[in-house]
């Protein structure tokens, strides 16, 4: 959610693609469906204002868990499954498991998982950023959309309730 990245990008991340900085963290996206071969993207992840929802804090805790199990020089996939017993394997997540994880977490949080899926985090980031008044150009930098028409599908949904006469009817 914090980086507006695609599920395939998240599943492909390696520990070496993550750099912590004073400002937060940077993800290096080496391969993406929208990029030219031989190029990459750096995704900035600033520190959040709430420790419970801060993506940088979550990444720091996750990498600490990886180091705790595999040692300080752990390498390989950044995101991995976790067994029912809390064990973390060396293999990474499959991109198709991301949707299942989102639905499972929603269910555990008491939410209806039916409308949610692997694209929900990326879509949710874009929609909420637009609702929060972030300029389109800044959101497009984060989401790496090159096609304005495709991006505007998110914008239309994000602004749907921004200006409505029904809100003023006192219902």
Question: What pLDDT is stored for residue 33 in this prediction?
Answer: 64
10 Cβ partners below 8 Å, 6+ apart? 79, 93, 95, 98
Alpha helices in 25-75 (DSSP H): 55-70
pLDDT confidence of residue 171: 62
pLDDT in the model for residue 109? 94
> At 130, is the secondary structure helix, strand, or coil?
helix
Cα three-residue angle 96-20-90, rounded to 5 degrees:
40
Entry pTM: 0.79
| Count of C-beta atoms within a 10 Å radius of residue 151 | 18
How many residues does the structure list for the chain? 171
Structure tokens at 40: 């990459």
pLDDT along the chain (171 residues), means of 10: 86 95 93 64 91 94 95 95 90 89 92 86 84 85 82 68 64 62
CA angle 103, 104, 105 (to 5 degrees): 95
What is the 8-class DSSP label of residue 86?
S
């Amino acid at each position: 959610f914090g980086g507006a990245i695609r599920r395939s990008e998240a599943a492909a991340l390696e520990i070496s693609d993550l750099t912590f900085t004073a400002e937060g963290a940077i993800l290096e996206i080496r391969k993406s469906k929208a990029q030219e071969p031989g190029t990459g993207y750096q995704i900035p992840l600033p520190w959040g204002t709430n420790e419970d929802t801060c993506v940088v804090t979550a990444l720091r805790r996750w990498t600490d868990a990886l180091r705790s199990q595999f040692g300080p020089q752990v390498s390989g996939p950044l995101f991995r499954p976790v067994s029912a017993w809390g064990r973390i394997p060396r293999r990474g997540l499959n991109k198709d498991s991301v949707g299942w994880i989102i639905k499972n977490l929603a269910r555990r949080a008491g939410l209806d998982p039916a409308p949610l899926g692997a694209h929900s985090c990326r879509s949710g980031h874009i929609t909420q950023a637009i609702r929060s008044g972030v300029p389109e150009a800044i959101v497009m930098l984060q989401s790496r959309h090159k096609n304005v028409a495709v991006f505007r599908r998110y914008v239309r949904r994000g602004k749907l309730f921004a200006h409505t006469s029904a809100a003023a009817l006192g219902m």
